Amino acid sequence: MNDSAQFLIAHENLNKLRNNFSNVVIGQQATIDELLISVAAGGHVLIEGVPGLAKTLLARCLAYSAQADDVRIQFTPDLMPSDIIGHAMFESESQSFTVREGPVFANVVVADEINRAPAKTQSALLEAMQEQQVTIEGETRALPQPFIVIATQNPIEQEGTYPLPQAQLDRFLCKVLIDYPSADEELKMLQQVTHESIANQLDLSHLQPVLNVNDLVHIQQTASFISVDAAVQKYIVSIVTATRSWNGIDMGAGPRGSIALLRAARAHALLHGNEFVTPDDVKIIATAVLRHRIQLTPDLEIEGYSPDDVIANLLSTVDAPRT
């Protein structure tokens, strides 16, 4: 099979996944797209939104649609690193230590309310997210592929939370914001969710497994082969370096930001059926990729500006490729 055929299959699979999401998640199309772009780019996603906006449902949908192993870890203040990555245990029968793998050994790990656990526990995910492996008692173990962490956090209840350190945030490819649905979407939701449903179960009955784990890996591989012109690469670097010298941004994005933006742009092109990356792909996904990598100056924060406002302003002034 040639590259074009591979591309078409990956694009179709990604769209199958997208359509499957729409059967369960009502509205939130931009959120779904950003989540799928992160998945296609082989990145991890941080979903932020107030309770009840289908954050967990999104993660479950992904795992179910792709027939992937999924695990949900509820982050709490007393959660320990070993509760996530696993630990060595002495077995009296064999008189030896055996390693018990933690819940992190799954394809899709949903880290629910990740900011409720202390930094030590959050950091337990660092190695897993960056290097796709964990080290338990000196023994390094590879994680199953694909490995995707979908973390959620609530932006309003800040008491008793531990804001994610910048090093941890940098590991997330995208930060996806979920907003309230429109009135029509909410009405649809009422009709669909409460029909023949007991209590608050996550109703995944409308969902069909449309892919398998290998298809997901194939999508990620295809995305990584999409060609990017040097002018577009320069454009990416211009955007990221602009965040470092922009008045109004205290701390700009690092080189990992450039890499993430390139990967996300490729995935965006794949999702939209483009065999090459254009500046549009970069610009559209830049906000989701950069919003958690920049730190605004206190005066802008006090005035109520969000990173999205600043990035929109920045994108409008960074010259797009034209020659």
Residues forming contacts to other proteins in the complex (CB under 8 A) are: 227-229, 231-232, 242, 245-249, 275-280, 283, 299-300, 303, 305, 309-310, 312-323
The nearest distance, CB 156 to other proteins, in angstroms, is 18
Which run of H or of E encompasses 64? helix 55-65
Q: Which is nearer to other proteins, 42 or 279 (CB)?
A: 279
The nearest distance, CB 314 to other proteins, in angstroms, is 8
87 Cβ contact partners less than 8 Å away, ≥ 6 residues apart: 99, 100, 102, 136, 137
The nearest distance, CB 266 to other proteins, in angstroms, is 12
Q: Which is nearer to other proteins, 71 or 320 (CB)?
A: 320
Cα angle 205, 28, 279; round to 5: 130
Q: Which is nearer to other proteins, 45 or 286 (CB)?
A: 286
DSSP helix/strand/coil, 101: strand
The nearest distance, CB 302 to other proteins, in angstroms, is 9
**Contact at 8 Å (CB) between 46 and 176?**
yes
The nearest distance, CB 264 to other proteins, in angstroms, is 16
Cβ-based neighbour number of residue 133 at 10 Å: 12
Q: Which is nearer to other proteins, 49 or 279 (CB)?
A: 279
First-to-last alpha carbon distance for the chain, in angstroms, is 34
Q: Which is nearer to other proteins, 131 or 303 (CB)?
A: 303
DSSP helix/strand/coil, 207: coil
Q: Which is nearer to other proteins, 158 or 245 (CB)?
A: 245
DSSP summary character for residue 156: S
The nearest distance, CB 253 to other proteins, in angstroms, is 15
DSSP string, 171-183: TEEEEEE--PPPH
